[in-house]
Amino acid sequence: MEEFTKARGCACGGYRLLLMDLDMPVMTGTEATREIRKLSPAVPIVAVSAYTANDDIDGCFQSGMNDYCMKVWQAKWIVPKPFRLNELLKVLVRWLSDDSQ
């Protein structure tokens, strides 16, 4: 939240898109999204999570997130948060294309 608040006032206009993890140490992704929506209702927020239950996904949208991208977990990977690359690219194109502005 602190970084988002700082960037919001910068000359570059802040962030164009936020990737929001749902499981964070200080507040959940849905809590953070609700706070961000108070400051910036228009910035696209994409949930990034390994949670796949419909209730979890519905909670993302109810909190004000715009989209959802599932993380893939495989024990042999060292990278802690791998994504389904094709899914992530589709989400990024959807929210960062000139047509989405």
Is 51 a residue whose pLDDT tops 50?
Answer: yes
Cα separation, 86 vs 77, whole angstroms:
18
Confidence of residue 3 (pLDDT cuts 50, 70, 90): low
In CATH, what number is assigned to the domain containing residue 9? 3.40.50.2300
Q: For position 52, what pLDDT does the model report?
A: 72
* Cα atoms in the Cβ-side hemisphere of radius 13 Å centred on 47: 26
Confidence of residue 22 (pLDDT cuts 50, 70, 90): confident
Rounded to an integer, the average pLDDT of 39-54 is 84
pTM comes to 0.70
Q: For position 2, what pLDDT does the model report?
A: 63
Cα separation, 83 vs 71, whole angstroms:
4
Domains: count for the chain: 1
Cα separation, 61 vs 68, whole angstroms:
8
Is 30 a residue whose pLDDT tops 80?
Answer: yes
Q: For position 1, what pLDDT does the model report?
A: 57
Range of the domain at 55: 2-100
What are the CA-CA distances from residue 51 to residues 2, 21, 34 (Å)? 26, 10, 19
Directed axis angle between helix 54-63 and helix 29-39, to 10°?
Answer: 20
Cα separation, 28 vs 18, whole angstroms:
14
Q: For the ranges 10-14, 50-54, 80-84, 95-99, which has the lowest average pLDDT?
A: 10-14
